[in-house]
């Protein structure tokens, strides 16, 4: 309405007293409250000076398990199919120099898309992709966020914590249906029966 002042008091508005109109006492009250909270224990890390060491159940960036210099992965594509943001892509190829028939020719995870949900780990029939403890990643270009096979492969000896956690938690959950043995873990054998005999020692 033309001519109506912008800051007109409403009928229910309380009138400020002299000290409130000064503002200073309220400012000091606020400072006193903040100072009282400073004595409480803190739960935040002063990162990066203080590092966070995640527990084995932590879902950091997904990595591919490297076994005897090769990926355990048989490029079945299940992880890519189950990945909600479509972060995984790969191309399979046949291999002759290994007990497995297939391996990924290339394998990529776009870490700008990954939401660390762990579905890829959950569905992998080979326990070939697992969630690591790595959480601090920085990129200067979008291309740097696309991790290739070389960057994704981590020797299984360095993933003992997570593989042990999966063995204790997941395999227990599914009982005999998923008793994680190496003989269960090779799905693309030309001659599976020959291999299975000696696989678990
Ligand atoms: S953790 Fe989830 S989002 Fe990330 S690659 Fe695996 S399935 Fe995809
Ligand atoms: S589900 Fe496992 S074996 Fe299949 S492509 Fe993914 S990582 Fe490889």
pLDDT at 201 over 50: no
pLDDT confidence of 178, banded at 50, 70, 90? low
pLDDT at 188 over 70: no
pLDDT confidence of 77, banded at 50, 70, 90? very high
Cis preceding linkage at 96, omega within 30: no
62-199 maps to which CATH number? 3.30.70.3270
For position 2, what pLDDT does the model report? 54
Ligand 1 centroid – CA 30 distance (Å): 45
Where along the chain do its domains lie? 62-199
For position 151, what pLDDT does the model report? 96
pLDDT at 196 over 60: no
* Mean pLDDT, rounded, of the chain: 85
Find the DSSP H helices in 42-185. 78-82, 119-123, 149-152, 160-174
Choose among 95, 83, 66: nearest CA to 188.
95
pTM of the entire predicted model: 0.74
Pocket of ligand 2 (CB under 6 A): 73-79, 123-124, 126, 128-129
pLDDT at 106 over 90: yes
pLDDT tens-digit profile of 44-61?
A: 888 889 989 999 999 999
Closest Cα to atom 2, ligand 2: which residue?
A: 124
Whether 137 lines ligand 1, by a CB cut-off of 6 Å, is: no
Mean pLDDT of all residues in 94-119: 91
3-class DSSP assignment, residue 3: coil
For position 161, what pLDDT does the model report? 95
């Amino acid at each position: 309405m033309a001519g109506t002042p912008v800051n007109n008091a409403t009928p229910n508005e309380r009138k400020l007293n002299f000290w409130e109109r000064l503002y200073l006492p309220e400012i000091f009250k606020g400072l006193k409250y903040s100072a009282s909270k400073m004595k409480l224990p803190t739960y935040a890390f002063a990162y990066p000076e203080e590092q966070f060491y995640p527990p084995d159940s932590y879902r950091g960036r997904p990595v591919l398990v490297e076994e005897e210099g090769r990926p355990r992965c048989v490029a079945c594509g299940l992880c890519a199919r189950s990945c909600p943001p479509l972060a995984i892509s790969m191309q399979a190829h046949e291999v002759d120099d290994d007990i497995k028939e297939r391996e990924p020719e290339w394998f990529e995870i776009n870490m700008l898309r990954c939401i660390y949900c762990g579905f890829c780990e959950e569905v992998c029939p080979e326990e070939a992709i697992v969630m690591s403890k790595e959480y601090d990643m920085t990129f200067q270009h979008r291309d740097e966020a696309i991790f290739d096979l070389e960057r994704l492969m981590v020797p299984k000896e360095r993933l003992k914590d997570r593989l042990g956690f999966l063995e204790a938690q997941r395999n227990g959950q599914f009982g005999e249906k998923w008793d994680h043995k190496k003989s269960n873990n090779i799905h693309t054998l030309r001659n599976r029966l020959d291999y299975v005999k000696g696989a678990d020692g």
